[in-house]
Structure 1
Amino acid sequence: MLRVKNLEVYYGLIAALKGVSFHIEEYEIIALVGSNGAGKSSTLNGIIHSVKTKGEVQFFGADITRIPTHKIIQRGIALVPEGRRVFMNLSVDENLRMGAYCNDENFVVMKEKMYGLFPRLKERYKQMAGTMSGGEQQMLAIARALMGEPKLLMLDEPSLGLAPKIVGELFEILLQLRDDGITILLVEQNAFAALKVANRAYVLENGKITLEDNAENILNNPEIKRHYLGG
């Protein structure tokens, strides 16, 4: 589905990614694990071409490396950014409308599907997003991304700042989405939780991938436990 070849990401003259290569097959959850500053968010931003890049990104065999971000989204890649970034002064319903800008003809059907997936959002459909809890805003950010019916959903630190119970609910939803046919690329500071739901994982250090394996093997790797899982 997605193939990234020798991806480099630059902020000015500084290289955040230094030749990253990996692939994602359909119907997988892939975890991208690494410490702060390793280049995880830069990888996601590089895929959707929202930052300066070198290298190649292929999506279903087509080179999308140089096409504009909005065209990449229209092809079926969605990003839930770190910090949620919902439209605080818009209601839940209006946020979902913004997510459906390239899929407006299916807005009503997709909205009801999102309300089925996230019942709390349906209860608060008129509420301003800025008055919602962090967990509710994260649910809204995911639902907004799904309104465009993406084939690949990328999430950047979805559990950040959330209570453990809410984190558990979100990860259960990710498993449900995968079972419904959505492929997921997950960047997550809670490496243990990410590896528990992922099929495969990549470890990123200093802008380079240093390890690739199935998630269970990485979860049981002593070096990974020591560096990322607290023992």
Structure 2
Amino acid sequence: MLNVKNLNVYYGLIHALKNINFHIEEHEIVTLIGSNGAGKTSTLNAIVNSVKSKGQIEFFGVNIAKIPTHKIIHRGIALVPEGRRVFTNLSIDENLRMGAYHNDENFERLRLKMYEIFPRLKERANQMAGTMSGGEQQMLAIARALMGEPKLLMLDEPSLGLAPKVIGELFDVIKNLKNEGITVLLVEQNAFLALGIANRAYVLENGQITLEDEANALLGNVEIKKRYLGG
């Protein structure tokens, strides 16, 4: 599905990503783990071409590295950015409509589906997004991305700043997306949670991929436990 080859990202003189290579197969959950500043967010931003990059990013065999971001979204990639970034002055329903801006003919069907996945949003359909809790906003951000019916959903730090109960609910939803035929690329500060739902994982350190393995194997890796799983 997605094949990233020799990807490099620079911010001025800073070499943020250094010839990284990875792939994602359909119906997988793949996670990128690493410390802050390792290059995880830069990887997601490069895939949707919101930062300049060098290298190849093939999506279903087509190099999308130089395609405008809105056309990448139309091809079936959605990014839920860190910090959620919902439209705070719009209602939940209006946020969902923004997510379906190129898929408007399916709006009502998808809207009802999102309310099945996130019942808490249905109860607040007319509420302004800016008045919701952080967990509800994260649910809305994911629902808004799903309104475009993406083939690949990329999530950047979805648990950041949320209560444990809400995190559990969100990760149940992410895990179940596989059953809906959606592939997930997950960047998550909580490596234990991420590895718990992922099929495979890549470890990013200083802009380079230093390790790749099945998620279960990394959960049992002594070095990974020491660095990312609290010993």
Q: TM-score under structure 2 normalisation? A: 0.99
Match of 2:17 in 1: 17
Match of 1:92 in 2: 92
Equivalent residue letter for 2:108 = V
Give a deviation string over 1:50-84, Cα, whole Å, max 9, x none. 00100000000011010000000000000000000
Match of 2:216 in 1: 216
How big is the shift at 1:95? 0.4
Consecutive unaligned residues in structure 2, runs of 5 or more: none
Match of 1:165 in 2: 165
Match of 1:179 in 2: 179
Match of 1:64 in 2: 64
Aligned 1:39-54 pairs, distance under 5 A: 39-54=39-54
Alignment RMSD, CA only? 0.6
How big is the shift at 1:15? 1.6
Aligned 1:66-215 pairs, distance under 5 A: 66-215=66-215
Equivalent residue letter for 2:207 = G
How big is the shift at 1:13? 2.7
Equivalent residue letter for 1:215 = A
How big is the shift at 1:12? 2.2
Consecutive unaligned residues in structure 1, runs of 5 or more: none
Equivalent residue letter for 1:134 = G
Using the alignment, how far apart are the partners of 1:51 and 1:10 within structure 2?
Answer: 9
Using the alignment, how far apart are the partners of 2:218 and 2:70 within structure 1?
Answer: 34
Q: Is it true that 1:35 corresponds to 2:46 in the alignment?
A: no
Q: TM-score under structure 1 normalisation? A: 0.99
How big is the shift at 1:14? 1.6
Using the aligned pairs only, state the percent identity.
Answer: 75
Using the alignment, how far apart are the partners of 2:11 and 2:104 within structure 1?
Answer: 34
Q: What secondary structure is seen at the aligned counterpart in 2 of 1:178? A: helix
How big is the shift at 1:176? 1.0
Using the alignment, how far apart are the partners of 1:112 and 1:9 within structure 2?
Answer: 39
Comparing 69-78 and 7-16, the one that deviates more: 7-16
**Stretches of 4+ moved more than 4 A in 1?**
none
Q: What secondary structure is seen at the aligned counterpart in 2 of 1:49? A: coil
Give a deviation string over 1:174-225, Cα, whole Å, max 9, x none. 1111111100000000000000000000000000000000000011101001
Using the alignment, how far apart are the partners of 1:10 and 1:179 within structure 2?
Answer: 37
Give a deviation string over 1:11-52, Cα, whole Å, max 9, x none. 223221011100000000001000000000000000001001
Equivalent residue letter for 1:11 = Y
Q: What secondary structure is seen at the aligned counterpart in 2 of 1:52? A: coil
Using the alignment, how far apart are the partners of 1:22 and 1:213 within structure 2?
Answer: 11
Q: What secondary structure is seen at the aligned counterpart in 1 of 2:86? A: coil
Using the alignment, how far apart are the partners of 1:99 and 1:28 within structure 2?
Answer: 23
Match of 1:55 in 2: 55
Using the alignment, how far apart are the partners of 2:135 and 2:2 within structure 1?
Answer: 29
Using the alignment, how far apart are the partners of 2:173 and 2:106 within structure 1?
Answer: 22
Using the alignment, how far apart are the partners of 1:226 and 1:102 within structure 2?
Answer: 45
How big is the shift at 1:10? 1.6
Using the alignment, how far apart are the partners of 1:72 and 1:194 within structure 2?
Answer: 25
